[in-house]
Amino acid sequence: MTHPAPDAPKTFADLGLSAPLLAALAAVGYEAPSPIQAATIPVMLTGQDLLGQAQTGTGKTAAFALPILSMLDLARREPQALVMVPTRELAIQVAEAFQKYASHLPGFHVLPIYGGQSYTPQLNALRRGTHVIVGTPGRIMDHLERKTLSLSTIRFVVLDEADEMLQMGFVDAIDQILGQVPAERQVVLYSATMAASIRRIAQRQMRSPKEVTIRSSTTTAANTRQRYWLVAGMHKLDALTRILEVEAFDAMLVFARTKQATVELAEKLEARGFAAAALNGDILQAQRERTVAALKSGAIDILVATDVAARGLDVDRISHVINFDVPYDSESYVHRIGRTGRAGRSGEAILFIAPRERNMLRIIERATRQPIEQMALPTVHDVNLRRVAKFKERLAAALAEPLQAEYRPVIEEFVRETGADLADVAAALASLVQGDSSLALASKRKGGDSDREPTEQTPFERVQAVAEGPRKRRKPGFDEQQATYRLEVGRRHGVQPGNIVGAIAHEADLDGKQINGVDIREDHTLVRLPADLSPQIIAKLARIKVRGQALNIAKLPASALPGRDRPDR
């Protein structure tokens, strides 16, 4: 049976999920279920087997993780759900998703098991007890053969990307693994295609499964150019400001993940001199209509919105869509960028991607079957050229206005009285018009104090300060002195330097250049960070999880460091 996407998405509360899960979804900014989630979560909650056809990136991880979490018995510290995936990367990704959705379920444990990782941490975690196992068929078979894993308590089985696992030759392994799972179990199978081999597995291992097919609407407009910026070394707000300075746009739609983020980002853009407004689910219909009307009329140029609030938005003058926060699935991405390039016009779509979000970039490219080109941020020179060009446009427009004629006699009289050069007078008048905002970006002071940043900056000077890099600017609230911190995540957890730098930079609001000497060891990592990180930031970082492991960051005293790590060396 094929189920088309629902016309009007339900809320997650309508799907019968528990209050802790609803709280977790609200915390991460999920506003409404995707089509695959709306169609399959109720089926899984009834206990019926499910055969789902859906592409990667449609939100199917949440579609099976949320109902499983709703039905777990957390008092039993034993494996109750088994999720099989084709690759180690997907195992880690799915395990992290379970952990995120279970943030309000005390005592929940999930374990990813895959090849290429030491058995020791996996064995330790199995001995401690875990509720959900996410693994590749090969490593699961290894544990079964070693008698280090028992599947006798499994109640739920998920075969994710089953077609990929079959192409990799795991069909026999899957049958053997399911042969050790109790007969009274719920089996959920997801595949992008329903080939004959998938049907055969379903016939052998499933009981009258409910079939759900979600047709992926992943065709993107051919007249929309798609680019991405890899977030690194600069705050996203500063990067967005620079893009706004240089890109020639009519109106722009900026997508943020949460309602609160839309309000905060719109306020910050307004503070930087842009005509912006927020649009989210908390805004009353009358205010929404006024905001959309203001965008259509040109009273505002930038709308910061959530996915749900932007549904049905049809404004021809939207020339740019900025994905300030990466969407959760490829369907959302397609809907977002569909707001531009309408009525035969060309459009621009720009995606901000953090290093740890690159997998989502690949998912979007696969789903849309279109490459997304990497973009370089506009340079300071680019910004200056654009600002000068805009200023010249204003001059040309002013010259065409009849009102300028009444000022001409005043200027001529002033030149006769003072002997001033006419170009100097024009420049002086331009500076009066500009006020505190300098025409060109310039961070260097005159008089030799070239490396000191002014205490009060215009928006454009702030952009220049970012471009000059951390050597020429001090981040408010941080001392230049650094200290060594210990993180409770290491090689055995599969962590890479980029994971550490990306997580800390994002959560602590630090520059990449303020994160130094990342030394990954077997069970922990040492890293050099600003010495005076506030207790609030340390507490925040301690809770952050990388590869499913909490950082539990702690500053090390100098006496505890090896000689080469001590500050006086």
Q: How far is CA 248 from CA 86, 175, 242, in A?
A: 44, 57, 12
In this predicted structure, what is the pLDDT of residue 219?
55
CA–CA separation, 507 and 286 (whole Å) = 36
| Tokens of residue 198, six digits | 């998938």
In this predicted structure, what is the pLDDT of residue 463?
35
Distance between alpha carbon 508 and the CA centroid of its chain, in Å?
A: 16
| 3-state SS assignment for residue 340 | coil
Kindly list the structural domains of the chain, giving each domain's residue range(s) and its CATH number in brackets, ordered by start. Answer: 13-213 (3.40.50.300), 224-374 (3.40.50.300), 380-449 (no CATH), 482-565 (3.30.70.330)
| Tokens of residue 307, six digits | 């996915």
Neighbours of 152 (CB within 10 A): 9
CA–CA separation, 488 and 548 (whole Å) = 11
- Running along the chain, 569 residues long, what does each successive block of 10 average in pLDDT? 47 90 84 86 94 77 95 94 89 89 94 87 91 94 93 96 86 93 95 85 92 69 83 81 87 92 92 89 84 90 89 82 88 83 77 86 82 84 74 73 74 80 77 63 38 34 37 38 90 79 77 79 90 87 83 82 45
DSSP state of 454: P
369 CB-contact burial (10 Å; exposed 0-12 / middle 13-18 / buried 19+):
exposed
| 3-state SS assignment for residue 126 | helix
In this predicted structure, what is the pLDDT of residue 458?
39
In this predicted structure, what is the pLDDT of residue 388?
76
What is the CB-side half-sphere exposure of residue 291 using CA atoms within 13 A? 21
In this predicted structure, what is the pLDDT of residue 303?
96
CA–CA separation, 127 and 78 (whole Å) = 9
In this predicted structure, what is the pLDDT of residue 74?
94
| 3-state SS assignment for residue 530 | strand
CA–CA separation, 237 and 568 (whole Å) = 37
In this predicted structure, what is the pLDDT of residue 335?
80
